[in-house]
Amino acid sequence: MKVSFHGQSAVKVVTEKHTIFIDPFITGNETSDLDASNVEADVILLTHGHNDHVGDTIEIAKRNESLVVAPNELANYLSSRGLNTHPMHIGGAHLFDFGKVKLTQAFHGSAFTDENGESIYTGMPAGILLTVEGKTIYHAGDTGLFSDLKLIGERNEIDLAFLPIGDNFTMGPEDALVAAEWINAKQVVPIHYNTFPLIEQDGDAFAEKVKPGKGIALKPGESIDL
As a whole number of angstroms, the distance between CA 222 and CA 101 comes to 24
Q: Provide the total of helices (H) and of strands (E) in the chain, helices listed first.
A: 6, 15
Query: How does pLDDT run across 133-187, given as a tens digit for each residue?
Result: 999 999 999 999 999 999 999 999 999 999 999 999 999 999 999 999 999 999 9
188 has which bridge partners? 161, 215
As a whole number of angstroms, the distance between CA 93 and CA 110 comes to 20
pLDDT of residue 139: 99
Q: Which of 36-68 are b and which e, b meaning 16 or more Cβ less than 10 Å from the residue's Cβ?
A: beebebbbbbbbbbbebbbbbbeebbeebebbb
As a whole number of angstroms, the distance between CA 212 and CA 209 comes to 8
pLDDT of residue 42: 98
Q: Which of 184-223 are b and which e, b meaning 16 or more Cβ less than 10 Å from the residue's Cβ?
A: bbebbbbbbbbbbeebebebeebbeebeeebbbbbebeeb
- Above 90 in pLDDT, residue 66? yes
* pLDDT band for position 212 (cuts 50, 70, 90): confident
* pLDDT band for position 213 (cuts 50, 70, 90): confident
Query: How does pLDDT run across 12-39, given as a tens digit for each residue?
Result: 999 999 999 999 999 999 999 999 999 9
Query: How does pLDDT run across 112-130, given as a tens digit for each residue?
Result: 999 999 999 999 999 999 9
Q: E strands of 89-125, at which residues?
A: 93-95, 100-105, 111-113, 119-121
Q: Write down the pTM of the prediction.
A: 0.97
CATH, domain range 2-218: 3.60.15.10
Query: Dihedrals φ, ψ of 20, to 5°?
Result: -115, 130
- Mean pLDDT along residues 189-206: 98
pLDDT of residue 14: 98
- CA 161, distance to chain mean position in Å, is 10
